[in-house]
Amino acid sequence: MSQKLVCNCNGTMPLDAKALGVTMHTSLCRQEVGLFLKALDGDDSLVVACTQEGALFNELAAQSDKALIAPLRFVNIREVAGWTQEAKTSGPKIAALLALADMPEAEPVPVVNYESQGRLLIVGSGEQALPWAEKLSDSLDVSVLCTEPGTLPIARNFPIYTGQVTKLDGYLGHFSVDWDLQNPIDPEMCTRCGACVDVCPENAIDDSFQIDLDKCKSHRACVTACASIGAIQFDRVERKRSSEFDLIMDLRVDPKLRMSQPPQGYFAPGRDPFEQALVANQLLGLIGEFEKPKYFIYNEKVCAHGRNGKVGCNACIDVCSTGAIASLFKNGQGTVEVNPNLCMGCGACSTVCPSGAMRYNYPSIEHQGKEIKLLANVFGAESIKAKLIVAPSLLLHSLKAGTQLIDALGRSAHLKSKQFEGLPSFVLPYGIEHIASTGLELWLGALSYGFGEVILLLSGDEDPAYRDALETQSTLANAILQAYGFDARIALIQASAADDLEPVSVAMGQLRQRGSLPPVCAPATFGLSNQKRETLEAVLEHLQKQAKTPIPSEGAVLPKSSLLGGLNINKEACTLCMSCVGSCPEGALLDNPEEPKLSFIEKQCVQCGICVQTCPEQALTLSPRLLTVEQRKQRVDLNETLAFHCISCGKPFGTLKMVELMLTKLGTHGAFAGPAMDRLKMCSDCRVVDMVKKDT
């Protein structure tokens, strides 16, 4: 256990020291700072209930004679509880947040490495790009690609190219750029001697050393003047150019990479001088070796992207805004390939992945489950002690933008209490790396631990694809809850930016007026697993045991986006060719070696649809639904038929329906008249024997 230092911030928070079981401080960062220094000499790790003065406390700890046995940890109780309208009844929330700060940190994850030598390409008009090149060339290895002419410097201190970008991809330390040289003058060869300017009769060449083709009348006097240099060619055949860079500063109004989260090392400030200056400052710090977490784990074995040349689930590819995920087919087997250098850690791929093949790992769902379970347990226990028996609501938010938004709301609620609403006493904030990384199994898992609802706070910086994915998944989660007879308990709050307090304040006011919701079920004891389907099955079983209404025998209908569901089969069309069995990546479809029978285990099905695409008779359709846990585990027969027996030896070698269909289709063809038709009714061994006999 750690030593907890709690401060009521100069008496502005009505905290109950006895209820919290801590010594209460009033000015820990000022007059009582000696108590903090004394705590550093102890053997316990320290949790300080103040984030505002984190920099000060870290600096004091760094100057301490005794090395810290563990990093200082900070928790914010002021903006989220002590400064809200319900500060006096926020004891359970504060106790839960303090307990969370005491939890062991998540296991470290692998890292992704970058190396930059400072090779910078500035892309844009010469008027914009060249001045920045002059400023940055002393510190960086600068090159310029002028997409519009500009006055070229006489000194050749850095390479200058002209043309239009045709391809730009890569990441910090590894960008590849292709462009077309469109002007007859190649600035890389040009010596800026001015001979071409002097001889041009139309004044089509100026100090940009590019030919204005609208003015040029093809006298070609410039070509003659430049003969010894060879920088001017009107009939240039090879116009393609390419090179590699570590950093890109794209000053165009319409940048090449337009995703909401561009790759590390790519900056597109446009033509705003202030934004350009901010980017220039960042570029100066991007020389050397860098690393970031590897946010994901991919399990190819359970991926439902493709099989037998057919594409099934494309969810992760469609939702990725960074272009980090690509389709990969080899020998008919479809998987996805993730470039960890392009991945920016949003986690949306894991949220939409139906099989759990793509798993977010920063931190893992197992770790998040332990923390959320602790929050629910401590809040519940402290509520009972305080005789405030209410269920908590879980407010999920992105660590950076979401925390900024919540903190700003808390400060505004304290200073302008009539204008803004802070977090109600029953709303527990929980920060995650990115709001898009949280999905169905975590939300329903939180409800199974005793939370009354789960609220997703979108702070406005999310890619539209992420918002769509969260809305789709929340609709599915609520449909599952409603199938068990529960009310919808997953909600979204949308802000337009990290300083857009109004919609969040309105939502908090509505929650406060409504009050807390009762839990949907008794708290579960199991832990969340890193395996998505395993966790989901455990949660569904727990919810089913306490359902208000039973699941219909035919199942409850779920949205088309569901990762749960079964199959409908047209038995008349199905020939039991078993193509679907071979195509199923999850082993949900099964054949029977003893008899022609097609079986199905719904629990294994992820609704990828590969079987539907594979079926030559178009006999299968997906059926998004929720059955009982017991039904989903059972092996059920979808179709069966009689076997067709060889007319020579009597051995079964196919289904009656399939052979009859083949005979019908081939019966009118001249090549299968007489004995040839009989051979179609034989097994492969007897067919060979019969052909040999006839030939001899």
Domain membership of residue 347 as a residue range: 294-360
Q: For the beta carbon of residue 254, count every other beta carbon within 10 angstroms.
A: 9
CA dihedral 295, 53, 45, 97 (to 10 degrees): -70
Residue 418, pLDDT score: 73
Pairing of strands 565-569, 620-626: antiparallel
Note the pLDDT tens digit of each residue in 478-487.
Answer: 999 999 999 9
Helix, strand or coil, per DSSP, at residue 521: coil
Residue 171 CA: distances (Å) to CA of 165, 248, 264, 278, 601: 17, 9, 6, 20, 43
Q: Same structural domain for residues 442 and 477?
A: yes
Q: Same structural domain for residues 119 and 226?
A: yes
CATH of the domain at 270: 3.50.50
Boundary of a domain, candidates 607, 622, 640? 640
CATH of the domain at 310: 3.30.70.20
The confidence band for 108, taking pLDDT boundaries of 50, 70 and 90, is very high
Residues 275-302, mean pLDDT to the nearest whole number: 96
298 in a structural domain: yes
Nearest of 598, 592, 589 to residue 652 by alpha carbon: 592
The string over 509-530, giving b where at least 16 C-beta atoms fall within 10 Å of a residue's C-beta and e elsewhere, is: eebbeeebbebbbeebeeebbb
132 in a structural domain: yes
Boundary of a domain, candidates 265, 290, 315? 290
Note the pLDDT tens digit of each residue in 212-271.
Answer: 999 999 889 999 999 999 999 998 888 999 999 999 999 998 887 877 789 999 999 988
Boundary of a domain, candidates 499, 516, 547? 547
Helix, strand or coil, per DSSP, at residue 205: strand
Element holding 245 (H helix, E strand): strand 240-245
pLDDT greater at residue 669 or residue 492: 492
Would you say 203 and 177 are in contact if contact means Cβ atoms under 8 Å apart?
no
DSSP per residue, 362-420: TT-HHHHHHHHHHHHHHHHHHHHHTT-----EEEEEEHHHHHHHHHHHHHHHHHSTTT-
Residue 644, pLDDT > 70, answer: yes
Residue 500, pLDDT > 70, answer: yes
Note the pLDDT tens digit of each residue in 163-196.
Answer: 999 999 999 999 999 999 999 999 999 999 999 9
CATH of the domain at 605: 3.30.70.3270
Q: Which long-range contacts (CB under 8 A, 24 or more apart) does 140-147 make?
A: 140/247, 140/283, 140/284, 140/287, 141/117, 143/119, 143/243, 143/245, 145/121, 145/177, 145/179, 146/187, 147/123, 147/252
Residue 633, pLDDT score: 96
Give the pair of three-digit tokens for residue 439. Answer: 């999905």
State the total domains in the chain. Answer: 6
Q: Same structural domain for residues 171 and 231?
A: yes
Residue partners of 440: CB distance under 8 A and separation at least 6: 351, 473, 476, 477, 536, 563
Residue partners of 511: CB distance under 8 A and separation at least 6: 393, 424, 427
Q: Same structural domain for residues 279 and 341?
A: no
82 in a structural domain: no
Note the pLDDT tens digit of each residue in 685-695.
Answer: 888 888 887 76
* 3-state SS string for 431-481: EECCHHHCCHHHHHHHHHCCCCEEEEEECCCCCHHHHHHHHHHHHHHHHHH
Distance CA 424, CA 92 (A): 12
Residue 128, pLDDT score: 94
Q: Same structural domain for residues 127 and 158?
A: yes
Residue 390, pLDDT > 60, answer: yes
Helix, strand or coil, per DSSP, at residue 299: coil
Residue 696, pLDDT score: 56
Residues 136-145, mean pLDDT to the nearest whole number: 96
pLDDT greater at residue 218 or residue 432: 432
Nearest of 246, 245, 348, 345 to residue 292 by alpha carbon: 345
Element holding 142 (H helix, E strand): strand 141-148
Distance CA 565, CA 571 (A): 19
80 in a structural domain: no
Write down the mean pLDDT value for the chain.
Answer: 92
Residue 183, pLDDT score: 94
202 in a structural domain: yes
List the beta strands (DSSP E) in 296-387. Answer: 296-298, 306-307, 310-311, 325-330, 333-338, 358-360
Angle between helices 273-283 and 126-136 (to 10 degrees): 40
521 in a structural domain: yes
Residues 459-474, mean pLDDT to the nearest whole number: 94
Residue 338, pLDDT > 60, answer: yes
Nearest of 237, 214, 152, 219 to residue 189 by alpha carbon: 152
Distance CA 439, CA 437 (A): 7
Q: Same structural domain for residues 54 and 187?
A: no
Cis bond leading into 593, ω under 30°? no
Nearest of 7, 36, 2, 40 to residue 24 by alpha carbon: 7
Position 181: which residue type?
L
The confidence band for 679, taking pLDDT boundaries of 50, 70 and 90, is confident
Give the pair of three-digit tokens for residue 688. Answer: 């060979």
81 in a structural domain: no
353 in a structural domain: yes
Q: Same structural domain for residues 243 and 120?
A: yes
Q: Same structural domain for residues 298 and 286?
A: no
Weakest mean pLDDT among 545-554, 575-584, 605-614, 640-649? 640-649
Would you say 398 and 434 are in contact if contact means Cβ atoms under 8 Å apart?
yes
Residue 228, pLDDT score: 92
Q: Same structural domain for residues 496 and 573?
A: no
pTM of the model: 0.88
Residue partners of 670: CB distance under 8 A and separation at least 6: none
Q: If you ran DSSP here, which 8-state letter would residue 82 be given? A: I
Q: Same structural domain for residues 519 and 409?
A: yes
Would you say 452 and 520 are in contact if contact means Cβ atoms under 8 Å apart?
yes
Q: Same structural domain for residues 141 and 276?
A: yes
Residue 29, pLDDT > 70, answer: yes
Residue 503, pLDDT > 60, answer: yes
Q: Same structural domain for residues 622 and 566?
A: yes
Residue 680, pLDDT > 90, answer: no
Distance CA 675, CA 315 (A): 52
Percent of the chain with pLDDT over 70: 98
